[in-house]
Structure 1
Amino acid sequence: MTPHSDIEDIAALWLARQADGLSNDEQAQLTAWLDASAAHKAAFWRLEYSWEKAGRLIALRNPDTLADTLAETRRAPRRRPLPRWAVGLAAALAVVAVSATLWPRPAVYATDVGERRLVALSDGSRVDLNTQTRLRASMSPDGREAWLDQGEAYFDVAHDASRPFTVHIGDRTVQVLGTRFSIKRDGDTVRVMVAEGRVRLSGPKSASAPAPVILVHDEVAMGDGRSTLKSSTTSQRVEDNLAWRRGLLVFDQITLSDAAKEFNRYNETQLVVGDARTADIRIGGSFEAGNVEAFVRLLRSAYGLEIARDGETVKISE
């Protein structure tokens, strides 16, 4: 059995790491540690409650405030020794403060194939993650930054004029004060679509980089390499492109080849279009992103297409 004092120390370290932002793996480790013993939960919750009540948890995210807090603690007269957990927590906070200053570590959020996830950031912003998406986010008193490493995300950014919200997509950036927009990244190809508000899309930082593009409501920009194409769209098209937030795919007369690619993003079962003539068939309608079987049945009944299965692969042809 782990000694009580060691449990207090571990709880203090987890509390400090949680305030700094936990990755998915770290959150799973913390959950497993809490679930392993009622004593673990009691120590963690007691520590968390004590510091929240004292109004000191904000120091975890602000090295200057933390330094002042620790200095006050050192100057204050002590009539009795500090509990072991308080000493452990102070040490843990000092480590976190130094780490946060030298090596900022964004929180990491990710989704698997077919998974969607709503992320609530500490500044009040909310981000919907689509299938196979990886996002990192760092919120601080000085700024708000996120990195879309892959996939697609819809941002509902809380307005804060003193802290612009910046999203990095490879060597491009999107900067915004408060708005709703989506970003889709496929390698070096980026699509930014604005549902509300105003954003600025900047290209790579180089002498030959294109000028930043300002996007407003119902505008979209496509970026590939050093090229950026801006165009206007309609509110309906924006809504259709965001239908994935409701678990749907909405197609407006796109090719079967492109429709298959979209379905393949959301499912382990992969659609393969067998020939160019079949690939060029135009598809329109609303479909459940995770229901490949229903889509294939509709293709067979509406177009008389041949469907051949081989494990997780479905080949479609005339």
Structure 2
Amino acid sequence: MNMRTPELARHEIDTHREAAALWSERLREAGADPDLRARFEEWCGDDPAKREAFRQAEAAWRLARSVADEPEMLELRNKVLSRAASERKPVFSAARLSVLAASVLVCVGFGFVLANWAMPGESVEPSMVIAEQAASDFETQIGERLTTPLADGSTMTLGTSSRARVAFSDQERLVELVSGQAYFDVAHEDGREFVVLAAGRRVTAVGTAFEVRVDSAQLSVTLVEGNVVVDAPVSVDQGAAGEFARSERAELSPGEQLVQVADAPPSVATVDARRLTSWLDGLLIFEDEPLSAAVAEMNRYARRPIVIADEQLSALRLSGAFSAGQSSGFVEALAEYFPEVRIDETDHAIILRSAI
């Protein structure tokens, strides 16, 4: 592949995100090249925005490579490349490739991955904050991600717009997820259970990594490693975001997810836990999802929501990996990949309409 250096391609680069993606690729190709590394350090300088852009480009590459050979990604990559070839358009700039590649979609044929960052005023870039356990209540705003070391050596990471209450005692390590989502990496401790109360259910873990999410009338528990037991509530007011019917307890194995909607019986299914917890790296991965579901997830990270104005667009199927909080890049990719989608923007919303 004829890869130009970032210096020569500078006229095509109008944001740190594209420069960082090019540097990431160039450094990977060159290996241990001290001269190139020195030029990279000169580019970064003391600019924290550039270093953060490079860190995210590297994280996006690692995650995207991990899903590169999955059938959905291979199929979508081929469709994107075929469409680009059929349009007979000029050589793509880094910015255009980031659109065609659906933000962080793996494009092995091009040899690099590009991630979309927010343009000013568009969305909220997910931010990582490390907090000491100085209080029992923890909360994040739109786009924030908060990692909290707990007193027992466990860690809790809150996702966007989430709230949790920690109450440890000599008998029990208790966390109530009041709203949103949280990922727990639990330190093993004999004789003192680690319990999460959410949506009227009790999730008990031992030396475990798992996610709990509460969305209005839906609860989901996703196990990454170890084991958890999900019990019916002792009383319906123990979990704050809804009331759920009693049912038999469920024991989850790694890679399983329990989902309960309102008062329906819970269901357990095998899932890709890595994909479902990709928000920890600031990414959202969709695999053959309806556009309505993808938009709903993107909107959790955006102050200016995406609105589907024409209902027939909701059923469009979407696969790809996107930077959480980057609504502008997401809708640009939609418009490029789906010619039937037209984008209208106002100060308060990004509106998707049918172009047909």
1:212-291, aligned counterparts within 5 Å? 212-234=249-271, 237-291=272-326
User: Contact (CA 8 Å) 2:199, 2:219: kept in 1 or not?
Assistant: no
Provide the rounded CA distance (Å) in 2 between the counterparts of 1:115 and 1:177: 28
Match of 1:185 in 2: 214
Deviation of 1:211 after TM superposition, in Å, equals 1.1
Greater helix content: 1
Partner of residue 142 from structure 1, selected from 171, 174, 179: 171
Partner of residue 171 from structure 1, selected from 153, 178, 200: 200
Match of 1:307 in 2: 343
What is the TM-score with the length of structure 2 in the denominator? 0.57
Whether 1:120 and 2:156 are equivalent positions in the alignment is no
* SS of equivalent residue, structure 1 residue 144: strand
Deviation of 1:106 after TM superposition, in Å, equals 6.7
Provide the rounded CA distance (Å) in 2 between the counterparts of 1:106 and 1:141: 17
Partner of residue 328 from structure 2, selected from 270, 284, 293: 293
* SS of equivalent residue, structure 2 residue 152: coil
Match of 1:68 in 2: none
Partner of residue 209 from structure 1, selected from 242, 246, 266: 246
Q: What do residues 135-154 of structure 1 show as CA deviations (whole Å, max 9, x unaligned)?
A: 11112222100000000011
Q: 2:139 corresponds to which letter in structure 1?
A: A
Provide the rounded CA distance (Å) in 2 between the counterparts of 1:297 and 1:225: 35
Unpaired runs of 5+ residues, structure 1, are: 1-104
Q: Structure 1 residues 225 and 106 mapped into 2: Cα distance closer, same or farther (>3 Å)?
A: farther
Provide the rounded CA distance (Å) in 2 between the counterparts of 1:224 and 1:302: 33
Q: 1:147 corresponds to which letter in structure 2?
A: E
Provide the rounded CA distance (Å) in 2 between the counterparts of 1:300 and 1:110: 35
Match of 1:54 in 2: none
User: Contact (CA 8 Å) 1:218, 1:238: kept in 2 or not?
Assistant: yes
Q: 1:300 corresponds to which letter in structure 2?
A: A
User: Contact (CA 8 Å) 1:210, 1:226: kept in 2 or not?
Assistant: no
User: Contact (CA 8 Å) 2:163, 2:178: kept in 1 or not?
Assistant: yes
Match of 1:130 in 2: 159
Match of 2:59 in 1: none
Q: 1:227 corresponds to which letter in structure 2?
A: A
Q: What do residues 73-119 of structure 1 show as CA deviations (whole Å, max 9, x unaligned)?
A: xxxxxxxxxxxxxxxxxxxxxxxxxxxxxxxx970111100000111
User: Contact (CA 8 Å) 1:163, 1:177: kept in 2 or not?
Assistant: no
Provide the rounded CA distance (Å) in 1 between the counterparts of 2:135 and 2:349: 37
Q: 1:267 corresponds to which letter in structure 2?
A: A
User: Contact (CA 8 Å) 1:210, 1:227: kept in 2 or not?
Assistant: no
What is the TM-score with the length of structure 1 in the denominator? 0.64
Provide the rounded CA distance (Å) in 2 between the counterparts of 1:231 and 1:175: 16
Taking every aligned residue pair, what percent have the same amino acid on both sides?
30
Provide the rounded CA distance (Å) in 2 between the counterparts of 1:216 and 1:182: 13
* SS of equivalent residue, structure 2 residue 273: helix
Q: What do residues 161-195 of structure 1 show as CA deviations (whole Å, max 9, x unaligned)?
A: 21001111132110112200000101231000100
* SS of equivalent residue, structure 2 residue 279: helix
Q: 1:247 corresponds to which letter in structure 2?
A: G
Aligned residues: 212
User: Contact (CA 8 Å) 1:110, 1:132: kept in 2 or not?
Assistant: yes
Provide the rounded CA distance (Å) in 1 between the counterparts of 2:141 and 2:329: 22
Q: RCO greater where, 1 or 2, for CA within 8 Å and sep 6 or more?
A: 2
Provide the rounded CA distance (Å) in 2 between the counterparts of 1:231 and 1:213: 8
* SS of equivalent residue, structure 2 residue 160: coil
* SS of equivalent residue, structure 1 residue 250: strand
